[in-house]
Structure 1
Amino acid sequence: MGYTLYKLLEENTVKIPLIQRDYAQGRASEEKVRNDFIDKIKSNLLEENKKLNLDFVYGYTTKHSNDNLNFIPLDGQQRLTTLWLIHWYFAIKEGILKDGRDKNSEILLLGFTYETRISSKRFCEKLVQNPLIFDNKTKSLKDKIVDASWFMSSWNNDPTIKAMLNMIDTIHTRMCSIENVWHKLTEENRITFDYIDIKSEEFKLTDELYIKMNSRGKPLTPFENFKAIFSQVLNDENSDYYKEKIEYENSKVTYQQYFSFKVDGKWTDLFWDYKDTRDNLDDNFLNFFYYIAEMLHYRENKEDDFQRNFEYLETVFSKKKNVDFLFKSLDLLVGIKDKKLFFDTIFSIDEYQIGKVKLFGETNTDLFFKSFTNSSFEVLLRVLFYGLLKYLIETKTTQPTDDLINFIRILRNMLLRVRQINTSKRIEVISNLRLPYFNSYVQFIDGFIKNITEEKAVYHSFVNNSFKGFTQDSFTLEKKKINSLLKNPQIEKNIYKLEDHNYVYGIPDNFIIEDENFEEKVEAFYEIWNFDKVSNSELVRALLTKGDFSVTTHDYSKLGYIKYFGTEDYWNRIIAPSNEDEKQNTKKILNQFLTEYINSVKDAILDRLDEMLNAYSSEDKDWRYYFIKYKEITSPYFGRLNLFSWNDKDGFNINSLGNSGVQPLASHHLNPYLITIRKKLIECGFSTEIVKHYNGRYSEELSFLSLPKDIKLYVDYGCFKLHNLVNLKNHQYIINEFNMEKEDDYYILKELKGTDKIETAILFCTKVLQSNYLS
């Protein structure tokens, strides 16, 4: 029956299967074929009421998860892709996609995709979602697309994408002068084809007949197609294992035979055991193969981006050592009868558990499950799972032994040391692991496992050998910790417990683990950094009694450099800083703080912290005096982060920020001393409508406190500035009372004798609000 592409997309999502060859009409070598085909379509569009039928397009439909239909073309992929590109071109040219003018058409165009070629699929999506701007004078749309910010450089290596770009330029060059084409394509049905669903009741084409029709003779589903192609890869005469045999049930078989025997038996059962994912069995099997292929690819290729397609699988598994790793991984996973118990024995989540290695921020310990569902499978977990598989293969065990757990702990910690400051949130430290650098990580994994198999003892093997793959500083620090543990095995539990705290995150360098009170300090750390019992402000202020422990997140802004003092959920930036100077400073203050805490005679946590606060004194009333005395400065009002721009050495002309990213001044900011003054005045009973604060933004707008009569209180270096005092009745009396001096058009308010700056400001505001100055 006659169909247009638009009608087909209204009824189905069109998915080009991997079984089809790359988009050939756009190849550079097919220029004449391409030009002739486009010219043929063009001539039909130019003539009135003329229609063009492009012969048969056949395939089959499958049910989508939301009950929509997927149409899988088995013949006609080349024509359908060209038609889609023509529809896309005129949808852009005629403004159909501009500003969401026709949302339905946009949705339909997004319904054309490549089933397993991720790069081609994403390219099609980006074409629709990012309409180009061009006209008839534009020379090359291909150049505009390649130069677009959304175009990934790796796509230049995708033959289908390269062919599409060639076709887009051909369409533009030969058809840009035609008008009103979208209407002709979608409403006049000028270009059609005969569409056949080979599995429909109407047609009733059997699989056997289809295989005869399909010259490649490959099965229908992607998984069946994968098995057929992978079987061919294993039978490639050019592989380094073509003539080799592998043992299977007391006999020797070829690699191809081994795969065929296992893939429809025990290996499939491996995934079938996960009942909740059985509907995606084929995808799960493919995901695992791609995961293994990806890790093996990056083991030898640092810069080349891995693509989830059969070309990459064929390249990776043309080598015997890679096929051996794949087969052994599957076989050992088959040998683990209770995989949930296996992973739960090795790993913990949420809280520290004795004898286990914590996975931070995870809800599931099963790394195998993550690998085949490809969900929440970050680089850290990918590398950990590779290391686990490699260890099991080389040690020939499927048991979660203590040695395995120790190996995993060291590997996790080394991986956690590969980190960086998050540029979009500089109060946070994030992983800097990259899969293209896996060839470095694997040097350590393979070398460490080799030594373990020779020396047996994991910890001794680690400290007694030299390794590559991470920085020498990382090795030195990790070895120092393990050496301490070997000298004093009794501290093992406390080291592990400390490492597994969310704010330590595997890097306890700021703690003195040789300290005789180490266990007490670990317990104290867990007690204090539990914000169900201690407020963040109380903690910050108590720590400040031992010194300035802040870290610098920005060494420059128009309001000065920026200091960070710690916020709930983001203490790792301070507890385990990456900067060496910050590390030494924090280590000194943290250990002094914990020592005083555990030596206190008080029982309750807050009583011990209050004891520190009450004992603190400062004759010169520096910024630490104000931060410690006034909890309002470090309390989490208005979404603030205990992040402050610092424009003077005295810490008075500062601003409390709520944005720690690239432009920290882009969000509203307030001077914390003004926040404190307003809070205190409100506590005294003054209305929020009488005492108002106004946010600053960027460096041009500074925050101020507003009183009636348009009195404005600003913060300056070491003092307050008061604007519009002349609006007060008898203003000279209050000027004299507070001994204020005039500068330009404002007055300077300095602290009175026997008070601090905040007390003086509160006293001034109270005088103004309670007297007859406003009448």
Structure 2
Amino acid sequence: MEQTKSFYDIVSKYIIEVPIIQREYAQGRNTEKVKSIRKRFVTDLAKTIINNEEIHLGFVYGKIEGKENLKRKILNKEAVSSILEAVKFYAHNLEFKISANIEETEDEESNQNLLKFIPLDGQQRLTTLYLLYWYLYFKGAKSKNNDWLSHFKYSNRKSSLSFCKELVNAENIDSLRKKQKKNAEINIKELITNSSFFLKKWSKDSTVSGMLEMLLSIESAFDSDFDYSKINVKELPFTFDFMDLDSLNQTDDLYVKMNSRGKQLSDYEHFKSWLQEYHKETEDNVWMESFWKKLDTVWLNYFWRNIDSDFSALDDFFYNYIKNLALMYCLANNKEIPFEKLRESYNLIRNTEVYDNQKISYIPLEKYFIKWIDNENKENNYFLFNADSLKFIEQTFDSLIYLEQNDRIKEFELPNIVCNPFIENLLSDFFLKSNLFTPTLWHSVFYYSFIIFINDRNQNEFTVTGLQNWLRFTRNIIYNTYIQSPENFNSALKQINNIEHLKFQINDALLNNKVENVFFENSQFEEEKIKIVLINEEGWKEQIQLLENHSYLYGQINFVLEFAKDESGDYSLVDFIRYGSAVMNLYSKEIRQNAEKILERFLLCEDFYLPNYKSDYIFCSGSLGGLRTKNENWRMFFKGSKINALKEVIDKLEDNQITPQLLTNYISDYLESSNLKKSNWKYLFLKFPQAISYCKETAIRKESENDIRLLKGFPIFAYHSELRSYCLFLEFKDKSATKDNRISPAKFSPFTKFWYFKDKNTDGHPGVYFEGFSHNNRNYKLEIRYSKTKEEFELLFFHKEEIENRVADVSLENLSFVFDSNFKHYFKSVPFDKIENELDIICLELKTVSQ
């Protein structure tokens, strides 16, 4: 049963015993985070005493032991009393006078007969309050009965237990008072640690050290001339909601679970107490009391049921959600606050997406006040958890519980809208899962758009269809707009807030141009208008949703709509289904990420489809990636001038089932029938998919028909390869060759090494080389590069030394090589289709030389 009790009520009636399972006293730690919390908490406690105010410190719950012993004691006492009364009566009849009364002893042994309170939540606050009461008593506060001094024990460590015992010893207290009277400058910590009863080994006990730090903080919270004698410890106004869990008839499993929640120092508990203190003067006290009650019960229980972590993480998840709701509400609804003033709050609150309690930033509570100077040089102040913000938080928690009932997400028929590829979890599960502890910026904005609609579910205009329309629209504009920075997040939320008043009739508002867009992707707005009209026609809704939910298209399907236009400009559902089905298959993972680059080569059969990107062309990456990855790859093609190549090549498939094998056969047939020259860049890309794979970012630099570079990244000044020479390498490469051994095919003996080499910058000239031929203790190299201006290879043969040390003692002049006296190498140009024959001749000549 829950009761409101003062700390004195608890400590005088019970022996408070911190159990072994509890951690050390943490409010006395010396980390920056704890120091800040301690200073604020102690200041509030001292202020309450000085101003003679009341302060409520939340829930304290635990087990009460010794009830049976107390009942037995009371029964025994009553039995003894009855016996004494009978003896008195008998003696009186014999004219004897007996005087006998039952008196309870007040020694330590009798204390053991008191009820024992084992706190499972509230240990830290109870310890702090006990130290505060001890300090006030030590300084001269009134206390009619001092038994409470010995009613506090730490059982989790012997040194903590013995320290507490010595601290309350009457002789030790008197000794400490006398020493301080002699030296008023010495602080309480030094006073205790320098006393004769203090053992050095206690300094290694973190609980003892923490208690000493707390006493020091308590001492500093009062002025040196503060009159402690006017305080009566019994009347101090510190209250708790006190709960005996035994009265709930729960098993010990519950105690372990509830205790595990309190294993880490809870930022949330400090925040809640501070927030309650801040709002204690709120005009609407009835609403405020209801808010705190639901915060501690219904809403907390909802999180307890739904987080996918253990109980120790409950406060982290709960507090994180509250902070994020307040932040989103603030960003959406406040245009006057300069964002730079909100940036720090943003960074502190949104600091980890995946749950990790070691990465959660501690937020000094004063940071929730945002201050700025406006254009009129007036100082402004906004509190992140003001009454409006709390009401939004209340509405949102109530909405979560409403959605949980009767599985309303499915009842609202949202799975076709709130689904993969946009989100993997239920929308109502955001902020509840470890991998969605703080959802991405896109997810968070979409979540906000969902919540503001559900929060108004009691409005007459609320309909399930309206919800579906709103979510489909906001989903498409949110996930197809860059929201990758704090500024983007701020702008997106403000834009959602700007159109919130239209949410119940968003489709009509769009069609009537009532929706002003100042942030989201404009082209998506125009696409949504087209789809709104079509969705109202029979058969279109399901097909549009199916295509929108494709993992790569992600709600952006305008190019398929264009394919579906007939000659009169009207949209054909039959064509939309045909092209949409083909596009979904072509951009399935199986084809889009095929190692043989069949999608890229398939499209290349039709046209040079590669979009221009900066100074380069890109084949387009098949990776899903994020929005930027999509926008800088296939979406450039979808929106580009070459998009009809896709339509035309789909038409050529003639409704055949699109499979990797179909595309492979199509490419092979094209190579056989096209009569492309083997030197043609298109032929080479089609024949050698590895040339496309070489380009990690799918980029090539096409300076001319004869000068095509394969780029690892985008900058041309980085090392890269050249198309024809790299394909020559692929054609001749030995199957067992690796980057480490670089084995040359046997047919090119006496060379033993064969590999490609890279170069950089536009004037660089990458190629391939042969090595491993030696003559007269000199090693020779044959380099092969493709000409930048003609369809021919350039061959260079030389002794592998610096130019000034080269000796041309192997001549290839009889093979029509020309000796360049400047570079001391032999040079020859060979037509593209003659290179293999030329290499055979050179190898034969060198074998003759080596014999």
* TM > 0.5: yes
Pairing partner for 2:829 from 740, 749, 760? 749
Quote the residue 1:256 is aligned against: 288
Q: State the distance in 2 between where 1:371 and 1:313 align.
A: 25
Match of 1:103?
none
Equivalent residue number for residue 644 of structure 1: 700
In the TM superposition, what are the counterparts of 1:308-319 in structure 2 within 5 Å? 308=348, 309=363, 310-313=365-368, 315-317=382-384, 319=386
SS for the counterpart of 1:256 is helix
Cα deviation for residue 392 of structure 1 reads 0.3
Question: Once the two structures are superposed, what CA deviation does each residue of 1:494-539 show, in whole Å capped at 9, x if it has no partner?
Answer: 3333333333233223333534422222222232234535545222
Aligned-partner SS, 1:633: helix
Shifted more, 215-224 versus 299-308: the winner is 215-224
| Partner SS, residue 37 of structure 2 | coil
Partner amino acid, structure 1, of 2:838: F
- For residues 359-385 of structure 1, the C-alpha deviation after alignment (integer angstroms, 9 at most, x for no partner) is 447567554335898636211011111
Native 8 Å contact 2:395 2:455 kept in 1: yes
Q: 1:342 to 1:508 in 2, by over 3 A?
A: same
Q: Distance in 2 between matches of 1:743 and 1:362?
A: 66
Q: How does 1:727-766 map to 2 (within 5 A)?
A: 731-735=812-816, 747=827, 749-751=829-831, 757=832, 759-766=833-840
Question: Structure 1 residues 15, 381: CA separation in 2 closer, same or farther (over 3 Å shift)?
Answer: same
Deviates more, 1:214-223 or 1:477-486: 214-223
Which AA in structure 1 matches 2:839?
A: C
What do residues 379-414 of structure 1 show as CA deviations (whole Å, max 9, x unaligned)? 101111111110101233999945434322221221
Q: Distance in 2 between matches of 1:728 and 1:541?
A: 47
Residue 232 of structure 1 is aligned with which of 267, 277, 286?
277
Q: 1:274 aligns with which of 274, 299, 306?
A: 306
Distance 1:373 1:627, change over 3 A: closer
Aligned to 1:678: 729
Q: Matches of residues 154-233 of structure 1 in structure 2 within 5 Å?
A: 221-233=266-278
Give the secondary-structure state (helix, strand or coil) at the position aligned to 1:357.
Answer: coil
Per-residue CA deviation, residues 11-51 of structure 1 (Å, 9 max, x unaligned), is 9883533524589xxxxxxxxxxxxxxxxxxxxxxxxxxxx
Q: 2:580 aligns with which of 507, 522, 528?
A: 522
Structure 2: how far apart are the matches of 1:622 and 1:609?
15
Match of 2:51 in 1: none
Moved more, 517-526 or 332-341: 332-341
Match of 1:30 in 2: none
Among 393, 399, 417, the alignment partner of 1:332 is 399
Which of 516, 536, 539 is the aligned partner of 1:490? 539
> C-alpha separation between the residues in 1 aligned to 2:219 and 2:784?
87
CA 203–541 in structure 1, closer or farther in 2 if over 3 Å, else same:
closer
Residue in 2 that maps onto 1:720:
793
1:543 aligned partner: 603
User: What does residue 319 of structure 2 align with?
Assistant: 286
Structure 2 distance, partners of 1:262, 1:275, is: 18
Where 1:298 maps in the other structure, the secondary structure is helix
Within the candidate set 742, 745, 757, 1:694 is matched to 757
Distance 1:406 1:706 in 2: 63
* Offset from partner CA, 1:297-325 (integer Å, 9 cap, x none): 32224332142443344534464432221
Q: 2:707 aligned with 1:653, yes or no?
A: yes
Cα pair 1:694 1:705 within 8 Å, conserved:
yes
SS of equivalent residue, structure 2 residue 839: helix
Task: Give the Cα–Cα distance (whole angstroms) in 2 for the partners of residues 601 and 199 of structure 1.
Answer: 72
**Residue-by-residue CA offset, 1:51-75 (whole Å, 9 max, x unaligned):** xxxxxxxxxxx99xxxxx9xx9999
> Structure 2-normalised TM-score?
0.55
Corresponding residue number in structure 2 for 1:452: 503
Is residue 463 from structure 1 mapped to residue 521 from structure 2 by the alignment?
no
Tell me, in whole angstroms, the C-alpha distance in 2 between the residues paired with 1:487 and 1:193.
80
Q: How has the CA–CA distance of structure 1 residues 478 and 320 changed in structure 2, closer, same or farther, with 3 Å as cutoff?
A: farther
Code of the residue aligned with 2:275 in structure 1: it is F
Matched, 1:412 2:475: yes
Find 2:662's aligned residue among 586, 589, 605: 605
Q: SS of 1:765's equivalent?
A: helix
Partner of 1:94: none
Query: Which residue in the other structure is 1:588 paired with?
Result: 644
In 1, the alpha carbon distance for the partners of 2:604 and 2:319 equals 54
Q: Distance in 2 between matches of 1:294 and 1:231?
A: 19
Query: Secondary structure at 1:235's aligned position in 2?
Result: coil
Cα distance in 2 for partners of 1:527, 1:581 equals: 17
Q: Which residue identity does 2:581 align to in structure 1? A: E
Q: Which amino acid letter does the alignment assign opposite residue 787 of structure 2?
A: D
* Structure-1 separation of matches of 2:726 and 2:423: 35
Question: 1:363–1:357: structure 2 CA closer, same or farther, 3 Å change rule?
Answer: closer
Query: Pairwise CA RMSD of aligned residues?
Result: 5.0
Summarize deviations over 1:230-260 as a string: whole Å, max 9, x none.
Answer: 1133335xxxxx43x4xxxxxxx53421222
What's the CA shift for 1:548?
Answer: 2.1
Return the alpha-carbon distance in structure 2 between the equivalents of residues 295 and 320 of structure 1. Answer: 15
In 2, the alpha carbon distance for the partners of 1:372 and 1:691 equals 51
Q: Structure 1 residue 14 and structure 2 residue 31: aligned?
A: yes
> Is the Cα–Cα contact under 8 Å of residues 722 and 747 in structure 1 kept in the other structure?
yes
Structure 2 residue 543 is the aligned partner of structure 1 residue 506: no
Aligned partner of residue 645 in structure 1, secondary structure: strand
User: In the comparison of the two structures, how many residue pairs are matched?
Assistant: 552
CA distance in 2 between counterparts of 1:658 and 1:218 reads: 68
Equivalent residue for 2:419, pick from 353, 357, 380: 357
Identity over aligned pairs, percent? 15
Question: Residues 394 and 601 from structure 1, CA distance in 2 versus in 1: closer, same or farther, beyond 3 angstroms?
Answer: closer
CA contact (8 A) 2:768 2:783 kept: yes
TM-score, length basis structure 1 = 0.60
- Look up the SS of the partner of 1:479 in the other structure: helix
Residue number in structure 2 paired with 1:435: 486
What is the identity, as a one-letter code, of the residue corresponding to 2:745?
A: F
The whole-number CA distance in structure 1 between the counterparts of 2:652 and 2:239 is 74
Separation in 2 of the partners of 1:524 and 1:696? 41
Q: Aligned equivalents of 2:684 and 2:821: distance in 1?
A: 26
Q: Give 2:728's aligned amino acid.
A: I
